[in-house]
Structure formats: C-alpha cells, structure tokens
Structure 1
Amino acid sequence: MSADGVTQLVLRERQSRDRGRYTGMAACFADDSMVQMSWFTGSGAEFARQTRAVAGRGGYAVHRLGTPAVRIEGDRALAELPLIIEWRIDVHGTEADLASACRSQYRAQRGTDGHWRVARTTSIYEKDTLVPVLPGARLTVDPEELARYRPSYRFLAWYLNRKGYTVGDHHLGHDRTEAVAEHYRAEHAWLRQDPTPAASATL
C-alpha cells in the first residue's frame, strides 16, 4: 500500500502553517484530532486558529522538513517527520537565530471518503541552538535562567516563556529515553489496534 497519501498529508500540514494557509492547515486534521506541541495542547482546528493568532503577533517560525517515514496498517498510519524549527529573534538588542531540532510524530486515519487526515501529532525534541546573526556579536543570556529548562528544548522553552507562553518540562525529548520508548510502544499499539503495547517498537 502506497504511503504517498500520508506523506503528502504531513508535508501539506506543515507547508500550510508556514505559508499562512490556515484553512488548508485545519483541513488536514480530523474532527476529533489532538495536537500536543511545546506551546499548545488541543484540537487540530484550534491549533490552526492559535497558529494564525501567533503569526499575527509576530511569532513567525519556519520549518525545515526532512523526509517522513511512514508505516500503514489498514486505515491507520504512523508518520515520523524530522524537522528543524527556526526563528529569528531579538535577545536584549542582539539579533539571533534560534533553531530547534525535533521529530514530529503523526497518527493518520483514512476516512470513509478515502482521504487521510491527522488524528494526533506531537514532537520528540532533540536539541536546540541559539547563535548571533552577526559573527562576533555577543549574546547575553542568564545561565541561571536557562538552568530551569531541559537540554532537549532549553532555548525553545526559554524563548517561548519570555513571549508569554507556558512551556512545561513534560514534553518528549532525548533526555528522557524511557518516556520516548513508551511513546513509540503506544504509537505502534495504536497502529495495530493492539490494547497491549509491544515490549519495544521503533519507526
């Protein structure tokens, strides 16, 4: 069974977000979908609305996408999409680039109309970096303030919390390997419609 439909779905959802096509973005999600990101938890439709609002306040980010890996079982699919989220931000008067590397996890289901839609999405955070745009410029960031945050998404959480969002320390990340392993087990159990997750599973 071809994975092209699922691949195009997850790429279209991310492209729609970056290009400001919020109606198209919302259409990628099932009615009962769930989205869990660093700054948002809720339905796909609300995610599209809140993303539009964030962009309207100047919170613009770009997603550099890798190639999705897709597994299909009947009318269910799992996709893992490696990506880097990029912002250009101001840090106490110095222009800087923030980049957060993660892999987005998508559950997709095919409806009775034959179309795939996103049922659930979340991210596993790997690492992030913060560098000055101008070589040689100095960034002033309080180390004690950064110490509050987990290493897998330290600068991301620091930046978003400074912008007024609430980013907790419960998100999936490379620094919590057992939680990530449990996540994969649950995703593959969902794919197989198996109430008992296997001992291990990876994409």
Structure 2
Amino acid sequence: MSTDATSEVTQLVLRERQSRDRGWYEEMADCFADRSVVRMSWFTGSGADFVRATRDMAGRHDLAVHRLGPPTVRLLGKRALVELPLIIEWRIDVGGVEADLASACRSQYRAQRDGTGTWRITRITSIYEKDTLTPALPNTRLDIDPQDLAAYRPSYRCLAWDLNRRGYEVGDDHLGDDRPDAVQAQYQDEMTWLHQSSTPAA
C-alpha cells in the first residue's frame, strides 16, 4: 500500500467532512467525482446535489457538526475504501429546553483516482450505531412522549425523530447495527467493488 496514496485518500475524506462543517461548499464539491452517490439518513442522491442540500440545510440553521475518529483505508490500484467513525452532534430545542443530540455512526467512502491523478469520492454510505438525546443544562428535563420515539429504529431513533419533525424525510430502511445481515452485505459489496478494478466506479 502506498503511504502517499493512503495519506491523500485520508485527507480527501477528512477534507470533505471539514468543508461541510465549516461551510466551505466549493471545496466540499471538489471532493466528489462527477458520478458519485451519497446515502445517509436525510439524503440520497449525487455528490453535487448533496453539497447543494447541505448548503440549504445550513441556511435553515439545521447543520450539525461531526466529531471524527481515525479512518481506516484499504487501497488497491486506483480504488480505495475508507471507513470513518464519527459522531453527529446537534444542539436542538425540545419544547423550549436546550438538548444535545449525538448520533454515532460510521461512514464508508469509496474513492477513485481520476484521469488527472486526483483522488475523489465516488460514494458515501452511512451505517448507524446508536444515538442519545440529553438536556444541555443541569436540572432541566426533556418532555418527550416515549410513544413518539417508539416507531423509530434503535440505531438512529433520536436522529430520525428530530429530522422528521424538522421536515426532512428519514425512512426506516437505512443501514444500522440493529440489522446486522444488511450491514454484513454492505461490507461484502464494498470489498467486491474494491477488487473489481476493471469496472467503472459506482
């Protein structure tokens, strides 16, 4: 594995997240290949549309920040797979009470070196683990009916509840550790893609 290529791919993934959190949308857009796909709780579509939707989300003051763990990179020729552990953090209002929503997930990135020798992201897929919702201040209480959360899956229950009440559409079909068979199939698909170096990136 090339140390230089591993570093380039690592920085690509980290730059995409930093650019999103900081509102550097031109730099964020440059991280994506022309034919790219992003799939996460609130969005499914192309990389270019993801950047535009992120800008719109920020305009509604709905943008979160991401606390990142060390990425793992697998490199084969002009293709790379990256798994990036992260926590999505939101400061939200629940009935007039400040609350902190933290959603733990891991994002899987496909990256490919293009004709100019530049690494770009061709796919992002999120796998959700668990989330929490807690008061931001001591001695305050969140008044949430447990039945309002009961319909949501445990891997992204609080995240889906909050995004849906804001007007985003979050379904129950996303990858999560509460559905291990689907997660295992996702890993197998990613490894198959990595080793199919003769086929176009998807």
CA pair 29-194 structure 1, distance change in 2 beyond 3 A: closer
Percent of matched pairs sharing the same residue: 68
1:56 paired with 2:69, answer no
CA RMSD of superposed structures (Å):
1.1
1:77-106: CA deviations, max 9, x gaps?
A: 000000000000000110000000000000
The equivalent residue for 1:189 is: 192
Secondary structure of 1:152's aligned partner: coil
Secondary structure of 1:120's aligned partner: strand
Deviation, 1:112, is 1.3
Q: How does 1:69-84 map to 2 (within 5 A)?
A: 69-84=72-87
Deviation, 1:122, is 1.0
Task: State the alpha-carbon separation in 1 of the partners of residues 51 and 96 from structure 2.
Answer: 31
CA contact (8 A) 2:77 2:197 kept: no
4+ aligned runs moved over 4 Å, structure 1: none
Alignment match of 1:105 (pick from 97, 108, 115): 108
Amino acid at match of 1:127: K
1:31 paired with 2:70, answer no
1:137 paired with 2:140, answer yes
The equivalent residue for 1:128 is: 131
Alignment match of 1:158 (pick from 154, 157, 161): 161
Amino acid at match of 2:18: Q
Task: State the alpha-carbon separation in 1 of the partners of residues 92 and 123 from structure 2.
Answer: 29
Amino acid at match of 1:6: V
1:8 paired with 2:25, answer no
Secondary structure of 1:170's aligned partner: coil
- Please, which runs of 5 or more residues in structure 1 have no aligned partner? 196-203
TM-score between both structures, scaled by the size of structure 1: 0.94
Task: State the alpha-carbon separation in 2 of the partners of residues 94 and 106 from structure 1.
Answer: 36
1:60-82: CA deviations, max 9, x gaps?
A: 21100111100001000000000
- What is the aligned length? 195
Deviation, 1:145, is 1.2
The equivalent residue for 2:118 is: 115
Task: State the alpha-carbon separation in 1 of the partners of residues 53 and 169 from structure 2.
Answer: 14
CA contact (8 A) 2:107 2:124 kept: yes
Amino acid at match of 2:58: A
Task: State the alpha-carbon separation in 2 of the partners of residues 27 and 39 from structure 1.
Answer: 22
Amino acid at match of 1:190: W
Alignment match of 2:152 (pick from 144, 149, 154): 149
Task: State the alpha-carbon separation in 1 of the partners of residues 128 and 193 from structure 2.
Answer: 22
Alignment match of 1:41 (pick from 16, 40, 44): 44
TM-score between both structures, scaled by the size of structure 2: 0.95
- Please, which runs of 5 or more residues in structure 2 have no aligned partner? none
